[in-house]
Structures are given as structure tokens and as C-alpha cells.
Amino acid sequence: MVKSNNRGMVSWTKPEEGSLKFNVDGSTLGQPGPAGIGGILRDHDSSIKMLFSKLVIRSWDGNLKPFHKTVVVVLVCMTLINCCSATTNHKTQPKFPAIIIFGDSTVDPGNNNYINTTFKANIPPHGIDFPGQLASGRFSDGKLVPDFLASFLGIKDAVPPFLDPNLSDDELRTGVSFASAGSGFDDLTTTLSNVIPVSNAGTNDLLFNFLDLPTRRFEFDSKGYHDFLLQRLGNLVQELYGLGARKIVVAGLPPIGCLPIQMTSRLEFSTNRKCLKDQNSDAQSYNRRLVKLLPKIQSKLAGSKILYADIYQPLIDMINHPQHYGFEDTNIGCCGANGPLVTTFFCNPTTPICRKPSEFIFWDSVHPTQEAYRYIVHYFMKQVVPKLLHA
């Protein structure tokens, strides 16, 4: 039994067998003012599967819970919750009944719609291939990797944003995304973009703080900054483990030098635009170190399974062999394809778009199209998911 603010009593009802219940609450002394949040995930036997709590320095003086100021971001970090009982009918229940996502704009389904930031995608032409042509807040023409993954695993058709005030109990039970566009492992990244600070991190950190804006280059060389980011990632994984997560997938960096925005930054405006080898090499170096780090973290966390998800290889293969995937354009984004700079970061109703997004690898200057995400998930299903199922 839990005592509420009005001194009444509220009983906790167990979820159905094979299901989870996720209870979240928060409180604040004034708006703005000191605040705290917390949550608990339990199964039908009342066994605790995950806990979290956080003290927030100042709450937001709006109509949302203060949780949006506490998450820390990376590029992609995914947690699958496996809690099926022995009596569960495996023919009707998915192996993983819930999926939780942490990350940046590549996996943000719309959390930034509910916070004060310019990093939003809730206007057309975003979402033109999403069900109902809805500009949901996803930085793409359609669905993202978590959406396809949740669907392929039989969990649900799309992963919603945690900050959506209209989330149903079922949505919370089956998983949400805490991702926020513009976030990263480095706190400086989230300070610059004014977004939720959690986990795929790395790409924004390198773009915002090292490659395009050399803020961190005054403190670190490339290897040193990789060390800094990987330490932050390691801390995040251990924090998730402490909250109850046991199966965690961490994504590496994409071929950053092939992002349209990076080619444009080198004044590659011609039709002979090429990937930047030095930046791709930097991403590969980071990924190799991440691959070596994750088993070390896993060895220190009893009962954990921490896997690496390779984003670099499927994307670079699409870029090098577009004809194998049905792509026509690999070095410009569909949104802004006819613009004066060949690319744009913020798509809006006045931005020119291509005729067929499915023929483009990139939707804008940074984010892949729905079709590219679909192929990435096919890669994950072959390379990553089997390792989780047999863990």
C-alpha cells in the first residue's frame, strides 16, 4: 500500500501473468524547485525487475514530470527485458515482452516534442512514410530502428516516447524510448542542444564537440576523447545494470565521414561528393575500442549480457553497394536534395524533398531514411538478436 499526497490509500494491482507493470512518480517543492523522480518495474509475482530514482536540482515549470532533465544520452543503448514465466505460452508471448531505448535523434520517437529545444521533428515533411503520414517527432520519413526491432520481435509496432503524456499502461509495460535528439555521452553536447542528457551516443559528441566545433580538441586528442566517451558509456551501462537491466545492446558509431552534412562541411558541393576517410577512420577506431570494452564491463557485472551492435558495417555496405539495396542516392539527403547546399539539417515545410525517399539512404543531412533503417534492423536480427536469445 502507498500513501498519496492527500493522505488517502492507493492499492497496487498485480499485472496479468506474463506481463509487467511500470509505476513512475515524481514530486517537487515549487515550480521550479527541488524535485525527485522514481519508478519500479514488477511482474505478476510482484518481483522487482528494475528500479530507478533520481534527484533533480530544479524541476520544469510546465505540465510534464521533471524526468526529462535527468536522462543522460549516448547514441544507442537498448535494453530488452526478459521475464517470461515457465507457464507462459511461448506461441503467443514474445521472447522479450519489453524493450527500453536510450539514445539520440536516430532513436528519438518524439521526446523532444515535449521539451524546450529547437531539435524537433514534429512538422512536415518528417513522417511522410509513417502510418497516417504523421510527423511524430522522428527524424526520418518513417519508422526508426527501435520501431522495426520491436515489431520483428513481436513486442509492438512502434516504440513511443516516454514523455508522451497520453501513454497507456500497455505502452509502459511493453517499453518506451528515453532518447532525445541532440543528446550525447558528453554533458557538453546536451548543454549545447538543450536536450535530455542518456544513451546511442557518440555521433553528436564527435560532431558537436570535436569535428565540427573543436571545443573538446583544446582538451583531448582523438584517442583521449574516445577514452572520455567510453568511460561515460561504461558508467551508463553500470547504472542500467544497477537498475535491473541484464541484457543490454550498445551500438557503435556510423561512418561519420559519409554523413551528407560532413561532406558539405568540407565544401563537397559537386556531384563527385565522397566520404571523408579521416572521419570514417576515427569512427572505426572508436568502434574497435568499444568492442574490446564491452566484454570487460560484462565480466564485472554478474548475470549480464552486453552486446555490441555494428551500425558502421551495414551503412557503409549500403553506401558502397547501393544497387544491392535499391538505392539511387548515397551522398545527399532526400530532404534538401534540391537545395542550394545540397543538404539541410532542419527539414521544414519549405524544404524541397525528393520524389522517392526509399531510393535515398539519408533522409536529411544526418539521419537515414526508413528504408535504410529497415536494412540495419535486418542486420541486427541476424547478428545480434540470436546472441540474446541464446544468452
User: Which residue from 265, 239, 254, 246 is spatially nearest to 344, judged by alpha carbons?
Assistant: 265
Beta bridge partners of 308: 250
Q: Read off the C-alpha cell for 295.
A: 566484454
- Mind giving me the DSSP string for 109-130? SSGGGGSS-S----STTTTTTS
Half-sphere exposure of 58 (CA within 13 A, CB side): 5
Half-sphere exposure of 272 (CA within 13 A, CB side): 0
Identify each DSSP E strand in 110-260 by its residue range. 247-251
Identity (one letter) of the amino acid at 125? P
| Helix runs in 117-195, H state only | 145-152, 169-174, 187-193
Q: What does the alpha-carbon distance between residue 44 and residue 32 come to, in Å, rounded to a whole number? A: 37
- Catalytic residues, by residue number, are 105, 364, 367
* CB atoms near residue 339 (< 10 Å): 15
Q: What does the alpha-carbon distance between residue 40 and residue 23 come to, in Å, rounded to a whole number? A: 5
